[in-house]
Amino acid sequence: MPKNLLKHDNICSKLQWLYEGKSYPVEIDNVEELATKGIAIIIIEKEGIADLLAPFAERYRVALVHTRGRFTEYGKDLIEAAKKAGSVVGILVDYDAYGEEIANGSRTNTPKIGITRDTIKWLQQNGYPDLIEAEIEEEYSPAIYIPRTSI
C-alpha cells in the first residue's frame, strides 16, 4: 500500500500538488512556479488516487494535483498557467455531479479522463444492457445529480 503523500493536517489549501515525491499546497503565491514543473499534469478528484498513481507519475515527470473533491479558482489558474508553460493537462474524475463540475470547470477545454455518458452507452451496447446511470453515479446527501438526458 503506498504511503499517503498528500495527507497534511495543517494545510488549508483545497488543492495539493504532488511532484517527484514532494507535496505542496496550491496557493495564489505559487501557481506560476508549480505550473512549470512536470511535463504533464493530472488534476484528480478522488482522494487516494494520487497516492496510487504517484510511483508511475514520478517515473515520467507527471505532476498530480488532488482537488479534495472541489475545484478552486487556484486550480483553474494552475491549469491555464501550466498550458501556457507547455504542459499537457488532463482532469481525472468519476461519474458524479462533483466530477462533472470539476471536469467542466476549467476556463479552456481540458481533456477529461474517466467515465462519461458515452462510456455508459458503450457498456450498454457491449455486454451490460441493463446498466443505468444511477448505478454509476455516486449518491450525496443532500441529493445532487448530473442533469439527465436520454442515453
Instruction: Give me the chain's average pLDDT, please.
Output: 81
End-to-end CA distance of the chain: 38
What's the pLDDT score for residue 10?
A: 35
User: What is the reported pTM?
Assistant: 0.75
Checking if the pLDDT of 60 tops 70, the result is yes
In order of 34, 36, 68, 86, 128, the CA distances from 40 in angstroms are 12, 10, 20, 9, 34
